[in-house]
Structures are given as structure tokens and as C-alpha cells.
């Protein structure tokens, strides 16, 4: 299986604290990979390293075979990496479609593109793309609604649409199912299946093992910034080190 993302001997320390140490794993192209582990295992730090928020103290990050370790975060977006956050980062005072237009700035390459969403054109290309993406996700009815008044589950799915509008080949999701009720979780799962059908590769941090089992074929388990196990969910659940460190001896 071809790897879209390859993490090679990645390390980072903050002061004297080694948060990630000599970590290596791959994310197969076109598949969904879960990054799991107990709180403090280094999962979000890995996300921040891959997306360019942090610079590693050692190791490499390869995207489609290209070394992106030194690339700024904005350039990583242009090369096909997008992410959503555990805490939804939308602007409450704007409508849903306005939030998507602001998010599309990640694809701009010059002043002309930068000004596109604010031209006095009622149906410009970026707005049409945003409306189409909402319709595809079953969210067209919310296009002109104020984000601040929307249910949490809808806000999380709007955030997911925003992330995908950059044309990402790798979508990184930080606890996408957290705080969702069963109906919202099912809608999210269907939305991710839609993205997978379009060829988007997923890297997911998630604590809900049922959700992981339903969405992800490949699982990487971290503990104290190091890889404990890798394989299918069933395989890592049988690993004694995983059971002791994360899932519990009775899992």
C-alpha cells in the first residue's frame, strides 16, 4: 500500500521534556488511519508537527515522497494538508457560507485571489464552490445561517467542510466525534465516507473506539510519545502493552 504520509524518526522536546521520541509510522494513501493513545501520549503534538505548527528537533515528515519538514504551515496547506480542531474554530458573527469563504483564503496565491470573496458579485466562483460543498454534505439549508446559533454537531460538520475546501489530499481530524450525539456521529461518519469516496486520506485522533472501528482500517497507538503498536483495531486491542497502557486489562 502506497504511503501518502510518512513519519520517520520524528522527535520534539520542549525544554527538558521529550514529548515525541523517534516516532515512525505511515498513513496509507486513500485510507483512514487512527492515532490513539492515553491523554498526554503526544497525539496532538504529532498533528501540530505534521501541520507545521511545531518544528521537530529530529526526524523527517514526507508527503507523497516529498520532504516537507521545513515547509511553513501555509505551504503545507497548498500541498494538500488540511486539519480540523477538537475545539471548533469558526467565526460566530459570520454566516456558514461566509466562514467557508474566509477559509478559502488558504488557497490564495496572489492579491487578485485574495480579494475574490469580497468582490461585489452575487454568485462568484468561490461562493458557488462553498454552496456545492455544503449541499454535498447535506448542509445546504444552513448556508446563510449564523454560525453562533447552530447546534454543536452542525458546527463541527461545517468546520469539516471548511477544511476540505482547500482541496486537501490529507485531512487531519482531532477528535471529530467528541461531544456528538449518536445521530450527529452517524452523520459525521457518512460525511467522512463521502470524502473517502473522493480519494481523501484521513488521519484521525479519536478516543471513541467504536467510531475508530467503523471509520479507520489502520491504527497507530502512542504512549509517552512513542509507538506502542500498529495494525487494525482488532490487532492493537490484543496487544498486551496497549491493553495495559490505554484500553485497560479488561478490554
Q: What is the pLDDT of residues 32-75, one digit of tens each?
A: 999 999 888 999 999 999 999 999 999 999 999 999 999 998 88
Looking at residue 212, its pLDDT comes to 94
Looking at residue 216, its pLDDT comes to 96
Residue 29 has pLDDT above 70, yes or no: yes
Residue 250 has pLDDT above 50, yes or no: no
Looking at residue 122, its pLDDT comes to 59
Mean pLDDT of the chain: 86
Contact 36, 206 (CB under 8 A): yes
Looking at residue 94, its pLDDT comes to 87
Q: What is the pLDDT of residues 125-175, one digit of tens each?
A: 778 888 888 988 889 999 989 988 999 888 888 888 888 887 789 999 999
Looking at residue 251, its pLDDT comes to 42
Choose between 16 and 111: higher pLDDT. 16
Contact 221, 230 (CB under 8 A): yes
Looking at residue 105, its pLDDT comes to 58
Looking at residue 44, its pLDDT comes to 92
User: How confident is the model over 220-238, as a mean pLDDT?
Assistant: 93
Looking at residue 111, its pLDDT comes to 52
Residue 188 has pLDDT above 80, yes or no: yes
Looking at residue 141, its pLDDT comes to 93
Looking at residue 75, its pLDDT comes to 87
User: How confident is the model over 105-113, as a mean pLDDT?
Assistant: 55
The domains of the chain, with CATH numbers, are 1-73+201-251 (3.40.50.300)
Looking at residue 106, its pLDDT comes to 54
Q: How far is CA 144 from CA 114, 121, 125, 184, in A?
A: 22, 16, 17, 21
CA nearest neighbour of 96 among 162, 189, 42: 162
Amino acid at each position: 500500500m502506497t504511503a501518502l504520509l510518512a513519519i520517520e524518526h520524528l522527535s520534539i522536546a520542549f525544554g527538558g521534556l521529550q514529548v515525541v521520541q523517534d516516532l515512525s509510522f505511515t498513513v496509507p494513501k486513500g485510507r483512514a488511519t487512527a492515532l490513539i493513545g492515553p491523554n498526554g501520549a503526544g497525539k496532538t503534538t504529532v498533528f501540530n508537527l505534521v501541520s507545521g505548527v511545531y518544528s521537530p528537533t529530529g526526524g523527517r515528515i514526507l508527503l507523497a515522497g516529498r520532504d516537507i519538514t521545513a515547509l511553513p504551515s501555509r505551504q503545507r496547506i497548498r500541498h494538500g494538508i488540511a486539519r480540523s480542531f477538537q475545539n471548533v474554530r469558526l467565526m460566530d458573527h459570520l454566516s456558514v457560507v461566509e466562514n467557508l469563504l474566509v477559509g478559502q483564503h488558504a488557497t490564495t496565491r496572489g492579491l487578485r485571489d485574495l480579494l475574490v470573496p469580497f468582490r461585489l458579485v452575487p454568485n462568484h466562483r468561490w461562493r458557488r464552490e462553498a454552496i456545492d460543498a455544503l449541499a454535498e454534505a447535506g448542509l445546504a439549508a444552513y448556508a446563510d445561517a449564523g454560525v453562533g446559533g447552530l447546534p454543536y454537531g452542525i458546527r463541527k460538520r461545517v468546520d469539516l467542510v471548511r477544511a476540505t475546501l482547500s482541496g486537501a489530499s490529507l485531512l487531519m481530524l482531532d477528535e471529530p466525534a467528541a461531544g456528538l450525539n449518536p445521530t450527529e456521529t452517524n452523520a459525521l461518519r457518512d460525511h467522512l465516507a463521502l470524502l473517502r469516496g473522493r480519494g481523501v486520506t484521513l488521519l484521525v485522533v479519536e478516543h471513541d473506539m467504536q467510531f475508530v472501528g467503523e471509520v479507520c482500517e489502520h491504527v497507530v497507538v502512542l504512549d509517552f510519545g512513542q509507538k506502542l503498536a500498529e495494525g487494525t483495531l482488532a490487532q492493537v486491542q490484543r496487544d498486551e502493552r496497549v491493553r495495559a497502557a490505554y484500553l485497560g486489562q479488561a478490554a
